Amino acid sequence: MKNKIRRYIKYAVGIVFVFLLFLWPLLNMFSEAFIAKDEGFTCAYFANVLSDAGFAKVISNTLLINICSMVLAGIVGVLLAYVMAYTDIAFKNILHKLLLIPLFIPSYIVTLAWMQMCMKNGLLYQLTHFELYSYKGIILMFTVCQYPIVYLMCLSHFRRIPRELEQAAVVSGCGRVKAFFKVVLPITKITIVNAMLLVFLSCLDNFGIVAFIGIPANINVLSTDIYKTIVSSTKDSYNIAAVKGIVLSVLAVIMMLATQWLSGNNKAGNCEKEDMEPRIMLGKWKFVLAGIMSCFIGLFNIVPLIKLVSSALTKGQGVKLSLKTMCFDNFFKVLRNVKSMNGIKNSIFLALAAVLLCTVIGITISYLSEYKKDRIASGIQAVVTFPYSIPGIILGLAIILTYAGSFHGFTIYGTIWILLLSYVTRFTAVSLRYANSAFAQLDSSMDEAAQISGANNYVKWKKVIIPLSMGTISAGMGLVMIYSMMELTTSSLLWSGGTETIGVVIFNFTSAGLSNMASAYSSIIMIGVCAAALLLKVIDKSVRIIRRR
């Protein structure tokens, strides 16, 4: 009886904790859209926003930019995946890694790099007259940053298509091009559409690209419009922002449900294992194709980053780099800048703390729901994953509305703790997903054997569960670390003096017209990320060598 009471108490505490952390801020934001301080319940805010011609333009901008970006990223991703999966293109492994560069560099740094490359006194602008601060510029940046999503999903699916299906099509008289449209695309169409919808969702959530390019160009989308409404600090700004947040949430949830439905109905025939062997032999043309692919990677992924570093090495904006103009003044200014150093220290602290808390919460919920098959924990899991599925600007607004006040003189608003709260609320779903994968691979007989051997819970976790699941869980920890270090969307709303993060510092430098300092700071961050990745690789290899011995 006592054990049951303790169990119910634990569940009650857990449910209250999850409700307050993951659900209450969002419910509070939704209520703010219907409550006026003087009048009580009202639909006036909804009526005003939805009847505003300016807001209709914002929605049309959002849909136009996101749909065009989704289609272009889909085309680029599918073509690249087909080439890499089917052909024997030269230097395949190197090209594959270089194609993934936009995944590992924050989109706002990629955008800043393109801003430096597309200056009007630059060679690219003189040759093409391409205006980055435009609809075309935003769509291009979304395409560059999001095509790896489509590429990776399609690459895996293309390799799982049975060779026999294509061979049968070829025997029936189909050429390679016709087989692509008659066999490959029909089999992978659900995966392609699913990947494109994920691109749409990612564009909805992205704040850096539309803030860096859209705000100066006066092109407003939902995320920047909500941001502008909040920082305007008018009487009803939070209520109006809440209404706009609900509109953005509805759009995001529709896309999320569509991706889940497509994933559940993706029953096209394919092999369980990926076929890594090439199916199209190019002969000497494999080097030509590798050259074309290298030009694509160089233009879109590498040259902008080189331009970013070169602009950091010059004193003034638009100055061409040469031995006479090269200097390290911007790097020295950044390293002496208090806010710059605060950004690095705060981001490291927030990332480490978020990894710890997200992992503990994720493992606990996953263990109960996936391993112990607890129904209550399964319901809690659905609540925990919801904040990750909505745009970060909405979560930031919800947390402001919930924690802006004080409780008996105590408040976390304006402190670093509100940033940590937002990171944990948002990124616990990442740890949970990887923990689910880890526990799904564990055999329950291992747990039973440990109990029969007399092991208590501490010994069971230390000797059995953690060693067997740590590999997968550590991958989730790494992702939470990266996401937290480079986060901008929620941080742009929640930061205050002394709590700047890396993304906020770069955003502020760029907004103030200090693009050379922003470039120098971004270069330092990229060098740090590369050094950390190299260190982790060395540690991983060392651990494997030690285990073999």
How far is the CA of 524 from the CAs of 103, 299, 315, in angstroms? 18, 22, 17
pLDDT at 547 over 80: no
Residue with more model confidence, 190 or 290: 290
pLDDT at 432 over 70: yes
d(CA 191, CA 152): 11
In this predicted structure, what is the pLDDT of residue 163?
Answer: 82
Range scoring the smallest mean pLDDT among 169-178, 409-418, 434-443, 539-548: 539-548
pLDDT at 540 over 70: no
d(CA 438, CA 448): 18
Residue with more model confidence, 514 or 475: 514
Write out pLDDT tens, residues 115-152.
999 988 777 888 888 899 999 999 999 999 999 999 99
Query: What single string gives the DSSP state of each residue in 324-388?
Result: TT---HHHHHHHH-HHHHHHHHHHHHHHHHHHHHHHHHHHHHHIIIIIS--HHHHHHHHHHHHHH
What pLDDT band is residue 508 in, cutting at 50, 70 and 90?
very high
What are the residue boundaries of the structural domains of the chain, listed by start? Answer: 330-549
| Residues 405-439 as b or e (16 or more Cβ within 10 Å = b) | eeeeeeebeeebebbbbbbbbbbbbbbbbbbbbbb
Mean pLDDT over the full length of the chain: 87
Range scoring the smallest mean pLDDT among 77-86, 271-280, 469-478: 271-280
**Percent of the chain residues topping a pLDDT of 90:** 46
pLDDT at 267 over 60: no
Range scoring the smallest mean pLDDT among 231-235, 305-309, 477-481: 231-235
d(CA 305, CA 283): 33
Range scoring the smallest mean pLDDT among 181-195, 363-377, 491-505: 363-377
Query: What single string gives the DSSP state of each residue in 425-470?
Result: HHHHHHHHHHHHHHHHTS-HHHHHHHHHTT--HHHHIIIIIHHHHH
d(CA 257, CA 280): 37
pLDDT at 491 over 60: yes
Query: What single string gives the DSSP state of each residue in 398-425?
Result: HHHHHHSS-BTTB--TTSHHHHHHHHHH
What pLDDT band is residue 447 in, cutting at 50, 70 and 90?
low
| Mean pLDDT within 252-268 | 74
Tell me the CATH number for domain 330-549. 1.10.3720.10
pLDDT at 445 over 70: no
| Mean pLDDT within 244-251 | 90
% helix / strand / coil in the chain, to the nearest 5?
A: 75, 0, 20
Burial, 215: exposed, middle or buried (Cβ in 10 Å; 0-12, 13-18, 19+)?
Answer: middle
**In the block, residue with structure tokens 């194709």:** 289
In this predicted structure, what is the pLDDT of residue 3?
Answer: 67
Global confidence as pTM: 0.89
Helix H or strand E encompassing 41: strand 40-41
What pLDDT band is residue 373 in, cutting at 50, 70 and 90?
confident
**In the block, residue with structure tokens 């896309």:** 255
Relative orientation angle of helices 416-440 and 466-485, to the nearest 10 degrees: 140
In this predicted structure, what is the pLDDT of residue 35?
Answer: 83
pLDDT at 260 over 80: no
Ramachandran category for residue 273: left, alpha or beta (phi over 0 → left; psi -120 to 50 → alpha)? beta
In this predicted structure, what is the pLDDT of residue 5?
Answer: 76
In this predicted structure, what is the pLDDT of residue 522?
Answer: 95
Write out pLDDT tens, residues 9-34.
877 888 888 888 888 999 999 988 88
| Mean pLDDT within 417-446 | 86
Residue with more model confidence, 273 or 491: 491
| Mean pLDDT within 516-529 | 91
Which tokens belong to 505?
């510092």
Write out pLDDT tens, residues 56-110.
999 999 999 999 999 999 999 999 999 999 999 999 999 999 999 998 899 999 9
Residue with more model confidence, 410 or 417: 417
Ramachandran category for residue 360: left, alpha or beta (phi over 0 → left; psi -120 to 50 → alpha)? alpha
Write out pLDDT tens, residues 300-320.
999 999 999 999 998 877 777
Residue with more model confidence, 42 or 493: 493
pLDDT at 269 over 60: no
**In the block, residue with structure tokens 């705000």:** 215
What pLDDT band is residue 469 in, cutting at 50, 70 and 90?
confident
Range scoring the smallest mean pLDDT among 238-247, 323-332, 431-440, 444-453: 444-453
